[in-house]
Amino acid sequence: MSDAYYPPPPPPPVYGQPPVPDKASGMAITALVLAILGFCCCGIFAAIPAMVCGFIENGRINRGASSPRGKWMAMVGIIVGIIATLLGCLQLIWIIFFGGLNVLQGMAH
C-alpha cells in the first residue's frame, strides 16, 4: 500500500443568504453622482435624490445587505446633498425676499 495523502472533501455548500459582493453598489455610486450634480449645476433637483439614495444605501450597509465599500460614497452623497440643498434654499430666499430678481434685472439692463 502507498502512503498517498488525499485531502478531505470540500465542505457542503451553505444555503441561505448569498455572499455580499466586494464592490460598491449602484445606489452608493448614484448618491455620489447626484450629489456632485446637485452641487455643480442641478441644485435641489439632484441634491434631494442624492440624500435619499445616500440614506437608503447607508441603511442597507448597516444591516449588512450591501457591501461596506460604498459607505464613503453614501456618506459623501448625504453630506454634499445637504450642502447643495442648503445653498439652493439660500438662493431661493435671496431671490424672493431680498430683491434678488431686481438686482438681476438691473444687471441685465
Instruction: Encode pLDDT of 55-109 as tens digits.
Output: 999 999 999 889 889 999 999 999 999 999 999 999 888 888 777 777 777 777 7
CA pair distance 79, 87, nearest whole angstrom: 12
Q: State the cell numbers at 94.
A: 435671496
3-state secondary structure of 63: helix
Taking each continuous run of H as one helix and of E as one strand, the counts in the chain are: 4, 0
Q: Which of 66, 63, 62, 87 is nearest to 23 (CA)?
A: 66
> Tens digit of pLDDT for each residue in 2-54?
677 788 888 877 777 666 557 889 999 999 999 999 999 988 999 999 999 99
Residue 92 lies in a domain: yes
Residue 77 lies in a domain: yes
Residue 12 lies in a domain: no
Residue 80 lies in a domain: yes
> Tell me, what amino acid is at 41?
C
Q: Which of 32, 35, 57, 31 is nearest to 44 (CA)?
A: 35
Residue 1 lies in a domain: no
pLDDT number for residue 56 = 97
pLDDT number for residue 79 = 97
* Angle, in degrees to the nearest 10, between helices 44-63 and 26-37: 150
Residue 8 lies in a domain: no
Residue 97 lies in a domain: yes
Instruction: Count up the domains in the chain and report the number.
Output: 1
Residues spanned by the domain of 93: 26-108
Residue 15 lies in a domain: no
